Chain A
Amino acid sequence: MDSFLIITSLLKIVAILFLILSMVSYAVYAERRVSAFIQDRLGPNRVGPAGLFQPIADMFKLLLKEDFTPRNVNTFYYWLAPCLAVMPAIITIAVVPFGSTLFGVPMVIADVNVGILFVFAIASLGVYGIVLAGWASNSKYPFLGGIRSSSQMISYELSLGLAVIPIFLLVGNLRLTSVVRYQIEHGWFIAPFIGDWTNPWKWLLTIPMIISFIVFAIAIFAETNRLPFDLPEAEQELAGGYNTEYSSMKFALFFLGEYAAMITGSAIMVTLFFGGWHFPGIPDGSRGWVFGLINIAVFFAKVAALIFVFMWVRWTLPRFRYDQLMRLGWLFFFEIALVNIFIVAAILSLAH
């Protein structure tokens, strides 16, 4: 039994790592294509059919570039920072259920009972990569980028944490698989009335849930340093921000880190609000491995859709001013998320 667990876990880890890394490189490609289309351009379309081999060409380009280390950097932290930027994003995916079951094996690498806390704990480590990069580079623009990033992440982590509390008020425990289970039985959190049309409390619950979703989504945008919150890497102000002094593959790692964070962010949003791997009418993996595979496909399709939204927003909105960003985080989202918890609690206590 134990060796079975270890082998299946290892297989899952390898598969997910492979999947996430290829998704990251294709997210870069997708970003370039989507941004191009939004701006009436074509984007990379030369390497392979429709430019699909572009990520491979990019990888070779980045690997062959000179890996230059400036003289005045703090070498140890300078080397450590890019790794720290990628790791947290990939580690968090370990607790996200990406499918139901396949041949009776649950499709989650580690079904820990502190699920969402683990996600927040690890995801917030991502800021260290950026702060260290900014500090170790020993250069003023990266330094400013690092400082901005740390204050931004700290501010938005609050609303991020508060926004999900309503969900766990409903579910009753922190395990991400039980969140999915609950949504299968009671309807997705983004639309909790589904399957229970006549219950007015469910309809009432929709309002705080949507607020919660909006706050969470915006906080994720801020956490992943995506536009309109990409102040740590504002090209026009900071000459690139924390990654200015980096070159070659180390620079690419920051990029990959951002995209990996975007993918895990989307995966968590899908799990918390869009019913995870569940799609109405499709049974779970206990009915046969085909359905298990379909569940996994549904999950990643949802993730891809959310990634598209990330990109869509990025190429639509201009960047916030720094004080506006802070004001938004501390004076609006924090309060909204806090009040939202009380609303949900009130609805729950009245409904019972």
Chain B
Amino acid sequence: MSVTVPRPKLNWRERLYLPAIVAGLAITFKHFKNMLLGRTKVTMQYPEQKWDSSLPDYYRGAPALVRDEDGRVRCVACQLCEFICPPRAIKIIPDEIPSNDRFAKVEKYPEEFDIDMIRCIFCGMCEEVCPEQAIFLRKDYAITGFTRAEMVHHKEKLLEIGGVMHGVVLKWNEKK
């Protein structure tokens, strides 16, 4: 069933069209004037002013590896994140921990851990899937570089962004 919406009947003032134009001009001029006098403040002047302090806790920035309280890289090179990462941004080369090491029972560690930041879509799947709570999305967002190679975050860079994380995964500590 079709519905016919009746055209509103305009009175002579509305049909003259000019009062509406003047009213519109008054509105835009008010905005112009308020901007000119600095009364409206909406734009953040990005490189000088930053939003960093107001970033919410759930903000998803660059993914990074973290160390635990003992300084051990938490990642055990299980490669689950490499598997889950939708754009295949992560590349891990695992290696074995020598038997004389303090954490020998962990067995595996990432010899190389690269995240290609050109590919990463900041989805947070790696963080979600990691059984060791070793990878987290941090609040870094201004990731730039002049070459593609520069845009690949290697293990050192990832650890530098990540820092130390105190948390619940203590199963590799000696006392257990």
B35 near A40: Cβ-Cβ < 8 Å: yes
* Residues of A that sit less than 8 Å from B by CB: 34, 36-42, 312-313, 315-317
B34: A residues at CB distance < 8 A: 40
Write the nearest CB–CB distance from A308 to chain B, whole angstroms.
9
Asked if A313 and B25 make an inter-chain contact with CB atoms under 8 angstroms apart, the answer reads yes
The answer to whether A38 and B25 have CB atoms under 8 Å apart is: no
Closest-CB distance, A59 to chain B (whole angstroms): 25
The contact sample of 15 A-B pairs, CB cut-off 8 A, is: A34-B32, A37-B31, A37-B35, A37-B36, A38-B31, A38-B32, A39-B31, A40-B34, A40-B42, A42-B43, A42-B45, A312-B28, A312-B32, A315-B28, A316-B27
User: What is the CB-to-nearest-CB distance from B102 to chain A, in angstroms, rounded to a whole number?
Assistant: 54
**Would you give the shortest CB distance from A309 to chain B, in whole angstroms?**
9
How far is it, in angstroms, between the C-alpha of A40 and the C-alpha of B21 when the chains are bound?
A: 20
Shortest CB–CB separation between residue A15 and chain B, in angstroms?
A: 31
Q: Is B24 among interface residues, defined by CB-CB distance under 8 A?
A: yes
Q: Do A316 and B24 have beta carbons less than 8 Å apart?
A: yes
Within 8 A of A (CB), among B1-31: 21, 24-25, 27-29, 31
The interface residues of chain A lying within 8 Å CB-to-CB of B24 are 316-317
Interface centre among B32, B34, B43 (most CB of A within 10 A): B32
Question: In the complex, what residue of chain A is closest to B27 when comparing beta carbons?
Answer: A316
Q: Is the CB–CB distance between B28 and A40 below 8 Å?
A: no
Closest to A34 in B: B32
Minimum CB–CB distance for A65 against chain B, Å? 23
Interface size classification for chain B: 10 to 19
Residues from chain B with Cβ under 8 Å of A312 in the complex: 25, 28-29, 32
- The reply to whether B28 and A41 form a contact with Cβ atoms under 8 Å apart is no
The interface residues of chain B, by DSSP majority, are classed as helix
Partner of A40, one of B25, B29, B40: B40
The 10 closest A-B pairs by CB, nearest first: A37-B35, A316-B28, A37-B32, A316-B24, A38-B28, A42-B43, A38-B32, A40-B40, A38-B31, A316-B25
Give bound CA distance, A316 to B34, whole Å.
Answer: 16
Instruction: Point out the residues of chain A lying under 8 angstroms from B43, CB to CB.
Output: 41-42
Quick one: closest B residue to A314, CB to CB?
A: B28
Q: How far is the CA of A313 from the CA of B18 in the complex (A)?
A: 12
Report A37 CB to chain B, min CB distance, Å: 4
Residues of chain A with a CB closer than 8 A to B29's CB: 312
Minimum Cβ distance to chain A for residue B91 (Å)? 37
Which of B29, B36, B43 lies at the interface centre, i.e. has the most chain A CB atoms within 10 A of its CB? B43
Complexed CA–CA distance, A316 and B24 (Å): 6
**Which B residues touch A317, using CB under 8 A?**
21, 24
Instruction: Say how far B18's CB is from chain A's closest CB, in angstroms.
Output: 8
Neighbouring A residues of B25 by C-beta, 8 Å: 312-313, 316
Give Cα A228 to B36, complex, Å: 24
Q: Distance in Å from the Cβ of A315 to the closest Cβ of chain B?
A: 6
Contacts of A39 in B (CB 8 A): 31
Additional pairs, 5, CB under 8 Å, beyond known A37-B36, A38-B28, A316-B28: A37-B31, A37-B35, A42-B45, A313-B25, A317-B24
C-alpha spacing A39/B28, complex, angstroms: 8
Q: How far is the CA of A37 from the CA of B40 in the complex (A)?
A: 9
* CA–CA, A40 and B33, complex, Å: 10
Q: Within the assembled complex, what's the spacing in Å between the Cα atoms of A37 and B21?
A: 19
Q: Which residues of A contact B35 (CB under 8 A)?
A: 36-38, 40
Q: How far is the CB of B17 from chain A (nearest CB, A)?
A: 9
CB distance from A50 to the nearest CB of B (A): 12
A313 to B29, CA, bound (A): 10
Give, as a whole number of angstroms, the nearest-CB distance from A213 to chain B.
Answer: 13
Q: Determine the residue in chain B with the shortest Cβ distance to A318.
A: B24
CB distance from A296 to the nearest CB of B (A): 26
A residues within 8 A CB of B28?
Answer: 38, 312, 315-316
